[in-house]
Amino acid sequence: MSLRWRFEGRRAELDAVEHDLDAGIGTVIYAGPGVGKTALANQVVERLTSRGRRVERVIGSTPQPFPLQAFAPLIAAGADTDIDTFARTALITEKLRAEPGAPKTVLLVDDAQFLDESSINVLLQLAGGEVVVILATVRAEHDASSPSDLARLWSGDTCRRLDLAPLGVDDCDRLLRYALGGDVDLRAVHTLVDHAHGNTFLLRELVLASVSDGVLRRSNNVWILDGLPSTGRGVADLVSDRLNLLDPELRAALDAIAVGEPLRLRVAEHLVGTGHLEALEAEHLIVCAESSGEPMISVAHSTLAKVVRDTLPRTRLRRLHLDLARLFERSSPDPVAVVRSARWRLAEGVACDPHFLMTAAAAARTFDLSTAEVLARAAADQDPSVEAVTLLASILTSAGRSEEAAELFDLLPPAELERGDQDLVLFMQSVGVGLRAGDPEAGIALLDRPGGSARLRGMQSTLLLLDGAVEKAQRLAAAVLDDPASDGTARAVAGIGAVGSHFYLGASTELRRRFQVAAVDAARESASNPHAIGQIEVNAFCAIAESGSLDEAEALARNRLDEGLQGDDDAGWDRSRWAYVLGRVALIRGNLPEAVRMLRLASATPAPFDLPFHRYNVSFLARALAGMGESADARRAMDAVPTELPRFRLFEPELELAEAAILSADGHLAAAAERAASAAELAAVSHMHGVVVFAAHDAARYGGAALVQHTISDADVTVDGPLLRARLDAVLALARGDAAHLHAVSEAFERIGAALYAAEAAAGAARLYRGDGDATAAVRSEVRFQRLLARCPAAAVPWLSGVTATTPLTKREQETAVLAAAGSSDTEIARHLDLSVRTVQTHLGRVYAKLDIHSRSALAEALLPRDGDRPAGDTT
């Protein structure tokens, strides 16, 4: 595969270097190999030469067979080769002297660390003169044999040294997306950047090798990484060459650290000795960093560690695994150490105590389901006790394999099950039936028995929520949470039902109160129920966003995403959940490209436990794509969802809203409004007042405010939160034709940060003001509309077509114009709108007159003005 590679990031550095050179101050770009010194210098040169600035280039290289080799191209042909350095400097100076009145020539010296001593002396003289300004690149920590006089270049006033840091994660993300031609899973980005250390040369080699080996592959339009990146033969050879120079004892110590990393400092000292640690650190082969208040030892570079592990003889690796396992077990290991110790012992065929395996499996289930399953299965094979079997079954349920879990339950003798075990079995069975199989009613019936425990009632509340019985779910969850006798497990499960029900009820204030308590309970129970805290938080964060606190929701989700990317989230739970929240926030903001990116990342690798909700997560991706006018891609995304995935009454209105968005993107505005109004009615039946507001607002946006003004009556008196209230006000203002109210709604949306909604409300106000004959107010709203729409990249809003026309288009004229602009023929428009062809032509004639155009080809451009076509008086 050939990669498209480009310069990325460094905008601040690029601007600073250009500014200094223009001011006559030289720059020395100082960084390690592969970081991008030459790429940055080339970008600076490109900027300068595009402005007519003269730039000359010399390149340091090794070996240099004769003095001043780098400057040879600048010495006049036929010059006396026996002249001294001073005379040669004079020749070079004259060669570089700019034309009278022109700025100084810029002299780019690439890889200046390889210049010979004579060349450095010439460079220093040129830097101190009046003819050139220097732009140089120097490799940090260059070979000790390099002339030390080079440092004089930046020690005075003629040049500044710019220490170039490795490329950051965000810049690498953009670079990878460009190189691979698509979105890249965030964990893949972080893993690749970690292994490349921001070195763009190494990053490219890792990507090429990983694509070639198939570990970096495209799935659902997103590049994902299976495991660790491949190093490739070239990189592996370079690393091996350095390793071969190590003292054998240091190499053995590095082997042990690479296999066991990260290691507590005291463990590493016991494993390889303090002296070897100090020697390896001096060679920059290991690092010591604080983690949770304790020093931890790791190999300095992930790629180095991988090459070390990959090249270890099998018998040596086995001995290290067992030595590390014994050392971990003697040093009061933490849960992660227990997991690693158990995994190594199993891998090497060493018998383990079943209780030790179960302890390790219970710890692993919070971050690595595949390892947890291996450990739990090994424990159950050795000792098929009720405890071991139920642990394995719960892990399989978490992994989305309820059928296998059910088979294990069938093996348990009922007579041997205590009350707690019976509750656990019923709980897992209800998850399998109600969640995995998509039959909440059956799961509820399974749990509905006299004297049921608080844990089972908490699960009932979650299943009631999925079944659309939102108010009943809220009451049952509240009863569990408010009961002092409810244990932590019950409260964690009930917290899902409580927070979720308040979200869909639109009760933002009460949700926050419940969330604060439920999150604490769920965090305490994460070892036994690792999913509860994530489910509670994803609902809470979405609710916080939908209530209008966009910055808060984004910060919460971003923090969780960063934690998941830096931790051992191998199952991908956090990545997909928090990317989903961030996508929804971006959608509300009107940043549709970012919404598509985050929602696509969330949908590409759904966590096993979240797979039943995949259809509904994709529906938000479809809405974002439709918002960009990409209706075909939106339809493909919806159609790609496996048909066997379950459906839940709770989320059905959201599917309807996705269909409405696709219809609107295709220009079928009346049908889109009707579909969104239907979603509002469907939500109203289940008292999902928050969803009623979302759906009614969409219907009103598409021109159907009159269809939903009565549907929102109950929601109007129950929901809280500034965004929910602004959406309600938008519906009412559009239904009543109240321009001033709609303008005020636009201002409310803008304060919240919902730029696209604000732009739409301003456009609606402008249209109403025009109809009322208030031209001054109309222009004010039009200016506002244009300013806000410019903040919404790639937004396609056909329902605003013709908003800047002096005489507003009627709804029928607007819909006819949108379909015509999309390329539909008169006959196709007539068929779709159930009109005669002559009527269609009459509508189009009126549209042309109102928009002051004379042909169908000008229609698309005239319907919505571009960013540069703002109304008069817009100075924003």
User: What is the Cα gyration radius of the chain?
Assistant: 33
How far apart CA 471 and CA 490 sit, in angstroms, is: 19
Do 193 and 66 lie in a common domain?
A: no
How far apart CA 287 and CA 416 sit, in angstroms, is: 52
How far apart CA 735 and CA 764 sit, in angstroms, is: 11
Note the pLDDT of residue 255. Answer: 95
φ/ψ (deg, to 5) at 299: -65, 145
Number of domains in the chain: 5
φ/ψ (deg, to 5) at 634: -65, -45
Note the pLDDT of residue 802. Answer: 66
How many C-beta atoms lie closer than 10 Å to residue 746's C-beta? 28
Residue 81 lies in a domain: yes
Residue 242 lies in a domain: yes
Do 199 and 281 lie in a common domain?
A: no
Residue of 621, 713, 732, 619 whose CA lies nearest to 675: 619
Last residue of a domain, one of 295, 313, 332: 332
Do 107 and 18 lie in a common domain?
A: yes
- Average pLDDT over the chain, rounded to an integer: 87
Do 27 and 155 lie in a common domain?
A: yes
3-class DSSP assignment, residue 15:
helix
Global confidence as pTM:
0.81
How far apart CA 666 and CA 798 sit, in angstroms, is: 9
Do 183 and 252 lie in a common domain?
A: no
Residue 19 lies in a domain: yes
Residue 423 lies in a domain: no
Q: Parallel, antiparallel, or unpaired: how do β-strands 216-219 and 222-225 relate?
A: antiparallel
Note the pLDDT of residue 872. Answer: 34
Last residue of a domain, one of 136, 163, 190: 163
Helix (H) or strand (E) holding 322: helix 314-330
How far apart CA 782 and CA 842 sit, in angstroms, is: 27
Residue of 803, 795, 707, 784 whose CA lies nearest to 745: 784
How far apart CA 875 and CA 206 sit, in angstroms, is: 48
Note the pLDDT of residue 370. Answer: 87
Note the pLDDT of residue 437. Answer: 78
Do 156 and 177 lie in a common domain?
A: no
Do 64 and 208 lie in a common domain?
A: no
Note the pLDDT of residue 407. Answer: 86
Enclosing domain of residue 850: 811-863
The low-confidence residues of the chain, meaning pLDDT below 50, are 78, 142-146, 570-572, 865-876
632 Cβ neighbours under 8 A, 6+ residues apart? none
Residue 556 lies in a domain: no
- CB-facing half-sphere around the CA of 636: CA atoms within 13 A: 8
Q: How far is CA 719 from CA 466, 547, 585, 696, in A?
A: 20, 9, 19, 13
216 near 188, Cβ under 8 Å?
yes
How far apart CA 234 and CA 208 sit, in angstroms, is: 11
DSSP secondary structure, 245-310, as one string: TS-HHHHHHHHHHHHH-SEEHHHHHHHH-HHHHHHHHHTTSEEEEEETTEEEEEES-HHHHHHHHH
Residue 560 lies in a domain: no
Note the pLDDT of residue 148. Answer: 63
How many C-beta atoms lie closer than 10 Å to residue 819's C-beta? 24
Residue of 417, 418, 470, 461 whose CA lies nearest to 443: 461
**In which residue are the tokens 């390892």 written?**
371
The CATH number for 158's domain is 3.40.50.300
Last residue of a domain, one of 490, 520, 547: 547
Residue 157 lies in a domain: yes
Do 36 and 146 lie in a common domain?
A: yes
680 near 708, Cβ under 8 Å?
yes
435 near 463, Cβ under 8 Å?
yes
384 Cβ neighbours under 8 A, 6+ residues apart? 411
Residue 571 lies in a domain: no
Structure-token pair, residue 506: 């639109």
Q: Residue type for 404, please?
A: E
How far apart CA 490 and CA 772 sit, in angstroms, is: 59
pLDDT in tens, 808-844: 777 788 778 878 877 888 898 888 888 888 888 888 8
Do 158 and 16 lie in a common domain?
A: yes
Read off the DSSP letter of residue 688. -
Do 87 and 195 lie in a common domain?
A: no
How many C-beta atoms lie closer than 10 Å to residue 51's C-beta? 9
Do 224 and 259 lie in a common domain?
A: no
Do 209 and 100 lie in a common domain?
A: no
586 near 623, Cβ under 8 Å?
no
